[in-house]
Structure 1
Amino acid sequence: MNLFRKLIYGRTAAKLFERTVLNLHSKLYTVASIYSKRNNGGRHPKHDIINYTKWFCDHIEVGWVVLDIGSHFGSMVQGMATKADFVYGIEINKHNYSQAMKENSKKNVKYIHDDAMNFDYSKLPGIDCVTLSNVLEHISDRIVFLKTLVNNVKWSDRGLKQFLIRVPAIERDWISVYKKQKGVKWKLDNSHDTEYTLEQFYDEMNKANLRVIDCRLRFGEIYSICAVK
């Protein structure tokens, strides 16, 4: 047994198999995610465990008009619509947009099938708050995009100009940082352009003319309340 352990955990094995094991760790995370979704009726259990919709709902006020970018199937839009006066949801994916229209329509909700990078925000009435839930990490020109929102959204006369932002943090655990150092797949999703450090997040918000009011880490993600400077 001791010989077996030496062979498996020894320096030679570590040099030979470290990258393989790190890649396997990433792959198994993906497989576990797929299995857990299939064993929960097609709904990923993370939605109930993380419950990010509640955080967004807790930080909007009754009477607000909210603009949700990257509204996906509309579940978060529907949740916020129980509190906000009106919610607009922009979604670039036609399938997601159609699903949202079918499953999560309400009288005080309007879904828009368009590219948020190029959308004419002057079409919308006064907005109190913009919500971005797992959106920024998919965008390469994030600062340009945020500046576009800051400058082109028609803000309400209440003057709040708030942003509620949720993004993944690379510092969720040590192994993600180590994988990046080793050049092994470290992102939670291959479509991510980045996964944030706190320093990077504050820097990008500042460059986009946003002031960070509150910033917290939950389940390996950054949840932040920001406002236009």
Structure 2
Amino acid sequence: MNLVEQCLCQKKSFFKPIIIYKNDDVFKDYQGIIIGRCLTCGLLKTFPNKKFNPQTTHLNYYETNKKFFLNLFQPIVKKLQQFKKNGLVLDVGCSSGIMLEILAQKKFDVYGIEINKKAYQIAAKKFPKKIFHGYLADFLKKTKQQFDVIIYNHVFEHIDNLNQEIKLIKKILKNCGILVVGVPNCRNFIFFLRQRFWESLQPNEHIWHFSDQYLLNYLEKNNFKILDRYYDNDSRKSYSLIKRVYFQSLIFLNKIFKTGESVVIYAKKI
């Protein structure tokens, strides 16, 4: 039975269930959740649509693994510098400000938006008067500032009305400004083989499940020129040796076919 719900491609679409979490001993928190594929555009969406709860942000994980995230974010910033060497940067969903720290070291003038209160407080201590608590729509009511770079790193998948968010982004991003978007990427061998067992699905938090190709097309349709993209994979260092060997073989295939478990896209407003 197909599901009827709003999609990014149109107001209402039919979604065909492809993953159903039912009587599942592995993912008890996902019971009753369905992931459907839009029959019009192919985008995956979570049902029921649980709006993102800011209190579920994994703040402790970010702070206790800060070195890991600094290393994770360094290549993202390095590639950004190919297109912008400096300027005003807004990180939407900045959490405790780890990426902002890297950007500030590279001489960018940094600002952040964060909806989780504890994460906001930590980031605000690092960057006084430069972190806003709330959503982009609220931020726009407080400022007329425009930015050279806007970053949404693993945020798009949480936003219900993404079409409206894109309109707001274009209001606050300067002409020829850079939009950086990072999301889990469903077009990879690990998801293809493991489906509901793929760790990055997180259907209790993620509304949308993008492929890199879908997101590239979506940004182009919204008047952005694609500049480059950056792929990454989860190393799974905490897994057993046998499991790591198995996943490394799949990651090898991802690299051969120029894809990965996550993608960061760099696009210019035109």
Long gaps (5+) in structure 1: 1-18, 28-36
Q: Larger % of strand: which? A: 2
What does residue 96 of structure 1 align with? 119
- Amino acid of the residue matched to residue 55 of structure 1? I
CA distance in 2, matches of 1:82, 1:45: 15
| Distance (Å, rounded) in 2 between the aligned partners of 1:99 and 1:186 | 26
Report the identity percentage.
19
TM-fit CA distance, 1:42: 2.9
Matched, 1:52 2:66: no
SS at match of 1:160: strand
Question: In angstroms, what is the RMSD of aligned CA positions?
Answer: 3.4
Alignment of 1:104-183 (within 5 A): 104-105=126-127, 110-120=130-140, 123-150=143-170, 152-153=171-172, 155=174, 159-175=175-191, 179=195
1:191 has 2:193 as partner: no
Q: Name the counterpart of 2:214.
A: 200
3-state SS of paired residue (2:217): helix
> Unpaired runs of 5+ in structure 2?
1-20, 29-59, 234-260
Tell me by how many angstroms 1:122 deviates: 7.2
Corresponding residue SS for 2:228: strand
**Are the structure 2 counterparts of residues 82 and 207 from structure 1 closer, same or farther at C-alpha, using a change threshold of 3 Å?**
same
Instruction: Report the CA distance shift for 1:128/1:52 in structure 2 as closer, same or farther (over 3 A).
Output: same
Partner of 2:94: 71
Distance in structure 1 (CA, Å) of the matches to 2:200 and 2:115: 26
The one-letter amino acid of 2:69's match is H
In the alignment, is the contact (CA less than 8 A) between 2:70 and 2:99 conserved in 1?
Answer: no
TM superposition shift of 1:79? 1.1
State the aligned residue count. 190
Question: Any runs of at least 4 consecutive aligned residues in structure 1 with deviations exceeding 2 A, and if so which?
Answer: 44-49, 60-63, 171-180, 206-209
- Cα distance in 2 for partners of 1:200, 1:222 equals 12
CA contact (8 A) 1:121 1:153 kept: no
Cα pair distance change 1:121/1:76, threshold 3 Å: farther
How far apart, in 1, do the equivalents of 2:160 and 2:153 lie? 16
How far off its partner does 1:146 sit? 1.2
What amino acid does structure 2 have at the position aligned with 1:100? A
Offset of residue 189 of structure 1: 5.3
Amino acid at match of 2:77: F
Mapped to 1, the partners of 2:179 and 2:173 lie a distance apart of 14
1:12 aligned partner: none
Q: Which has the larger radius of gyration?
A: 1
